[in-house]
Amino acid sequence: MELTYRLEDESYKYVYGSYMVPNKKQSPPFPKQYCCKNDWAVAQLILRADVAMQVNVSGEACFYPKGALDEIRVAVDVPGIDPSQIKVQLVGLIKDDDHQYKSDLLMDEGNIFVEAEKEQAIWIQINVGEDIKPATYNASIKLYHKNLFEDETLMGETSFELDVLDMVLDDPKDYTFHLDLWQHNSNIARKYQVPLWSDAHFAIIENYVKSLAELGQKAVTLVVSEVPWSGQDSMYDKINPSNFYEYSMVQLTLEESGNWVYDFSVLDRYLDLCAVYGIDKEIEVFGLINIWLAEDAGFGKVIEDASDAIRLRYYDAAQGTYRYMRKKADLAAYVKALEGFFRKKGVLERVRLLADEPSDLDVFIDKINEMKALAPGFHYKVAINHIEFMGKNIPHVVDYCPSLTCACDKYDELVDVQKNVNGSVTYYVCCVQAYPNTFLRSPAIESRIIPWIAWVLGLDGFLRWNYTVWPDNPINHLSVHYPNWPAGDTNFVYPGKNGSPMLTIRYMNLKRGIRDYEIIRQYVHQYNAQEEVKNLLKKVFYWEHTADMNHKQPKDLYAFDQQAYNNIIHHMLTKLSADS
């Protein structure tokens, strides 16, 4: 057995496809890694053998079902750091739209079969707590070989150094970066086959909320009417029509007496759960404004005299049947009751009725005015993908989130908007923006630079719609609505078998970028270093005008070398830690 191995950084993504030439080049030495306390460091170990093998990262006994097979066990030790703080995970490949398999998934499984001449990446993450002594640590990686009942023998070893600096980073809950990844909890219930809003559902939801909190998530997603995105047009997909319907978190009952009962207990429970994990800065309410339509497929208005296609399902106790509201007066009573719930809970000022990509400005303003007349206490947020919305002072909108395309094309108007709004101004990417993005095909470094771009543009944060919008079988068939949705447009994590999300290289690079943003912010604030940082960032961002983002190729816009970004952060951390 001939085994080769090397170390790569956390943005490395392997592609396994139809025409693969083995990489025989000598890899450069792996650079020393730097981090602070309350921080983490990552290296990827890349294995390749001339014969099929089984790779084991768990240390558990494992045999290949088809019989005798060479096994390589990976053992990692960092003297001075508790072994429980060292995570070693196999990196799984996911099939992309082009039928090539690409590194993405950080697997729960502890072993995997690997074909001859195929690379297998192993994610090695060292979590550094607040109580770790600042010092240089050596991460030792040993590779043990055996077949069946043989005794293990050392077949190879490598290592890398980690410098821990004398500085404690903030907890994600204290980050200033405004991260807004929408939560699609109905989809979580479907994937785990548990009743919607049941105790079993909430137990799983909590694991996903925790993973969002570890990124520094700020916004809560609430859905208060039925299917506000009309199933994401899945009815038009004849190849992979996955179930994307999101259902209301409010149960409505029309009693025999004619009185309405609004059950807000699910909203209450979810808000409390998110608050436990520090996700409570913003409460986004979907389903009351700018409902998506698919009228030729039957997804139109239900309340005919309302300006929007709000769909409210209720149980009619007198008839013993479920129905949909038809009267605007009933809608008005519901909206007022919802406003009252938020006011009583003491969170109304943080509530935003969110409009997702309205297309007609005048119609949108009419919808806002109608809703404002029903419930004056609500504020509004809009995700903008139409240029003509930029620079408009839309009544009652306090938070703006343009697409990156709009933000760059109309940057001067965006700056003017920032001067006049009371809330946040963030940006988003979706299926339309080819790059930078967080698709499966996207270089992982693009996930990292998402927050850096927010800093360069002077924006408060980042929004994406896609945390868990999985198609029906995401691990085996992630591609859906192709070519409109590139694979990976729908998710940052995958559903794990144990009720917890399986993270991805994209998730971890986004997490790194948000951490970077906070370090940049602290450095600028502490040293009044706006001009210095502006010049430093020119080493990794090459555009002269923001509009270049929509017209130039990626290589002409930003660096793809992870180390270039690391060097900037290391420079800042060295000075900050010396002065801490």
308: DSSP letter: S
Token representation of residue 387 = 């240029």
- The predicted-structure confidence for 379-407, as pLDDT tens digits, reads as follows 999 999 988 887 787 889 999 999 999 99
| Separation between Cα atoms, residue 217 and residue 73, nearest integer Å | 36
With CA atoms as reference, report the closest residue to 240 among 95, 367, 116, 346.
Answer: 95
- Contact assessment for residue 153 and residue 192, using Cβ atoms and an 8 Å cutoff: no
Token representation of residue 416 = 């003017």
- The predicted-structure confidence for 280-308, as pLDDT tens digits, reads as follows 999 999 999 999 999 999 999 999 899 99
- Phi/psi of residue 371, each to 5°? -70, -35
Token representation of residue 358 = 């309205």
Token representation of residue 313 = 């399902």
Looking at residue 282, its pLDDT comes to: 98
Q: Is 363 helix (H, G, I), strand (E, B) or coil?
A: helix
**CA atoms within a 13 Å half-sphere pointing along the CA-CB vector of 110:** 11
Looking at residue 391, its pLDDT comes to: 76
pLDDT (average), residues 231-256 = 95
- Contact assessment for residue 462 and residue 179, using Cβ atoms and an 8 Å cutoff: yes
- The predicted-structure confidence for 63-82, as pLDDT tens digits, reads as follows 999 999 999 999 999 999 99
Give the pLDDT band (50/70/90) at residue 24: low
Residue type at position 71: E
Specify the long-range contacts of residues 28-33, CB closer than 8 Å, at least 24 apart: 30/6, 30/160, 31/563, 31/566, 32/160, 32/161, 32/162, 32/163, 33/160, 33/161, 33/162, 33/163
Looking at residue 28, its pLDDT comes to: 80
Looking at residue 312, its pLDDT comes to: 98
Token representation of residue 481 = 């609505």
Mean of the per-residue pLDDT values for the chain? 96
Looking at residue 580, its pLDDT comes to: 81
**CA angle (442, 444, 446) in 5-degree steps:** 75
Cis bond upstream, residue 22 (ω within 30): no
Q: What pTM, to 2 d.p., does this model score? A: 0.97
Q: Is 401 helix (H, G, I), strand (E, B) or coil?
A: strand
| Separation between Cα atoms, residue 558 and residue 540, nearest integer Å | 5
Looking at residue 19, its pLDDT comes to: 67
Looking at residue 386, its pLDDT comes to: 87
Looking at residue 20, its pLDDT comes to: 64
Calculate the dihedral angle through the C-alpha atoms of 452, 454, 460, 461, rounding to the nearest 10 degrees: -80
Q: What share of the chain is helix, strand, coil (3-state, %, to 5)?
A: 30, 30, 40
- The predicted-structure confidence for 352-384, as pLDDT tens digits, reads as follows 999 999 999 999 999 999 999 999 999 999 999
- The predicted-structure confidence for 556-577, as pLDDT tens digits, reads as follows 999 999 999 999 999 999 999 9
Looking at residue 532, its pLDDT comes to: 98
Q: Is 446 helix (H, G, I), strand (E, B) or coil?
A: helix
Looking at residue 26, its pLDDT comes to: 65
Looking at residue 89, its pLDDT comes to: 98
| Separation between Cα atoms, residue 327 and residue 349, nearest integer Å | 28
Strand (E) positions, 115-190? 120-128, 136-147, 153-168, 178-181
| Separation between Cα atoms, residue 153 and residue 143, nearest integer Å | 8
- Contact assessment for residue 475 and residue 94, using Cβ atoms and an 8 Å cutoff: yes
Looking at residue 388, its pLDDT comes to: 81
Q: Is 104 helix (H, G, I), strand (E, B) or coil?
A: strand
Task: Tell me, letter by letter, the H, E, C secondary structure of 18-31.
Answer: CCCCCCCCCCCCCC
Q: Which residues contact 331 (CB under 8 A, 6 or more apart)?
A: 303, 306, 310, 312, 325, 374
Tell the residue number behind the tokens 């009583």, with chain if given. 344
- Phi/psi of residue 253, each to 5°? -135, 130
- The predicted-structure confidence for 140-170, as pLDDT tens digits, reads as follows 999 999 999 999 999 999 999 999 999 999 9
- Contact assessment for residue 68 and residue 52, using Cβ atoms and an 8 Å cutoff: no
Residue 25 has pLDDT above 70, yes or no: no
CA-to-CA separations, 128 to 4, 83, 133, 508, in angstroms, rounded: 29, 11, 10, 16
Looking at residue 239, its pLDDT comes to: 86
**CA angle (568, 492, 514) in 5-degree steps:** 25
- The predicted-structure confidence for 438-495, as pLDDT tens digits, reads as follows 999 999 999 999 999 999 999 999 999 999 999 999 999 999 999 999 999 999 999 9
Looking at residue 390, its pLDDT comes to: 77
pLDDT (average), residues 200-216 = 98
Looking at 285-410, list the stretches that DSSP marks H as alpha helix, in order from N- to C-terminal side.
328-345, 361-374, 404-409
* Burial (CB count within 10 angstroms: exposed 0-12, middle 13-18, buried 19+), residue 176: middle
Task: Tell me, letter by letter, the H, E, C secondary structure of 228-276.
Answer: CCHHHHHHHCCCCCCCCCCCCCCEEEECCCCCEEEECHHHHHHHHHHHH
Looking at residue 27, its pLDDT comes to: 72
| Separation between Cα atoms, residue 87 and residue 435, nearest integer Å | 31
Residue 245 has pLDDT above 90, yes or no: yes
